[in-house]
Amino acid sequence: MKEELIAIREKADESLASALTPEAVEELRVSLLGKKGELTRILKSLGGLGPEERPAMGQLANEVRLHIEARLDAARRALLSKERAARLAEERIDVTAPGTPRQMGCRHPMTIVIDELKELFIGMGFEIAEGPEVELDYYNFEALNIPANHPAKDEQDTFYADGGLVLRTQTSSVQIRVMEKKKPPIKIVAPGKCYRSDAVDATHSPVFHQIEGLVVDRDITMGDLKGSLDLFAKQLFGEDTRTRFRPHHFPFTEPSAEMDVSCFVCGGKGCRVCKDSGWVELGGCGMVHPNVLRMQNIDPEEYTGWAFGFGLERMAMARFGISDMRLMFENDVRFLGQFKR
């Protein structure tokens, strides 16, 4: 029995040396110390020994058991910590490693200008209004006091579709849509796209942007128009900006004017942007024509209003030093990427 016990111990040591996983170690434990294990069998048979043999064999068997248990335990621990170390190494995340760069988009220069204008007018108490770009002839022309045979229609030749639909030539159509729904006081601006059948060149595009403004209330005068638009110009282009109103004609305003601002590039001395005149034209404005109010059931005896419509491409181009309008619509990211802010 003694030899058997020593052989078991040796075999255990040998087998452990080649047990490379915790599972293999466990298998070995079961084969030696499990219910039907080799050592268990011997421990059980100790009872059959004579009293002179039993104490010495008992002691040896116990020593072998403790030895094997200790070695199994040490082997299991070593393997587990090796496994954990391997897993840690494999799953290690280097938080200092550079991330995958994500390409950030940026706003179109026109969007930058529109956002800025909206903010400015909201600050002056205006609401933002919207209307469709595919518009009924009625809103684009007729309700703006431009009847079917009016020469103003020639100047704003556009794209016509069946059913009295046109691509709107001016954001002025939004004036009508607002007055149709809401009674005075009205104080809105409406930025958006407009269309005319113009040939493309450095300063013309069949699609372009305008911002429309409309104020209707009791006791509104041309003085309100001038004061408000002068304040707007100073806020947009700087305190020193001067404004100038030249008489003009639009079917939907009476009186009508064209508004210029002192050149925001040279301050009025004369440069390329203002073509040496010192002034830059922003667009049209005027007192809302009584016919226009009347068509929307607003009594021109009780209410008056002023309106304006400015083109935005020129504003954006001057602001960012863009010399060709085509760049605004080509959507070349090499160009658009320059307006990150």
Distances from the Cα of 86 to the Cα of 16, 25, 83, 223, angstroms: 21, 19, 5, 81
Is 264 in contact with 241 (CB distance < 8 Å)? yes
Residue 284 binds to ligand DAH (criterion: CB under 6 A): yes
> Which of residues 39 and 190 has its CB atom nearest to ligand DAH in the complex?
190
Tokens coding 275: 């073509």
d(CA 339, CA 112): 9
The region of 21-29, 95-103, 280-288, 314-322 touching ligand DAH under the rule CB under 6 A is 280-288
d(CA 51, CA 32): 26
* Residue choice 140, 145, 158, 170 for contact with ligand DAH (CB under 6 A): 170
Residue 243 binds to ligand DAH (criterion: CB under 6 A): no
Residue 137 binds to ligand DAH (criterion: CB under 6 A): no
CA 197 vs. chain centroid, Å, equals 32
* Residue choice 212, 229, 322, 328 for contact with ligand DAH (CB under 6 A): 212
> Which of residues 39 and 256 has its CB atom nearest to ligand DAH in the complex?
256
Phi and psi based region of residue 162 (left: phi greater than 0; alpha: psi -120 to 50; beta: remaining): beta
Give the DSSP letter of residue 279: E
> Which of residues 243 and 256 has its CB atom nearest to ligand DAH in the complex?
256
Residue 191 binds to ligand DAH (criterion: CB under 6 A): no
Cα angle value 140/142/145 (rounded, 5°): 105
d(CA 212, CA 139): 14
Residue 312 binds to ligand DAH (criterion: CB under 6 A): no
Binding pattern for the stretch 77-116 against ligand DAH, x by CB under 6 A and - elsewhere: ----------------------------------------
Judging by DSSP bridges, how do beta strands 127-128 and 186-195 pair with one another? parallel
Residue 253 binds to ligand DAH (criterion: CB under 6 A): yes
Q: Is 201 exposed, middle or buried (0-12, 13-18, 19+ CB in 10 A)?
A: exposed
The region of 3-11, 57-65, 81-89, 283-291 touching ligand DAH under the rule CB under 6 A is 283-291
The region of 16-24, 65-73, 176-184, 307-315 touching ligand DAH under the rule CB under 6 A is 307-315
* Residue choice 195, 232, 250, 303 for contact with ligand DAH (CB under 6 A): 250
Beta bridge partners of 186: 216
The distance of closest approach from Cβ of residue 256 to ligand DAH in the complex, given in angstroms and rounded to an integer, is 6
Binding residues vs ligand DAH (CB under 6 A): 170, 172, 212, 250, 253, 256, 283-286, 307-309
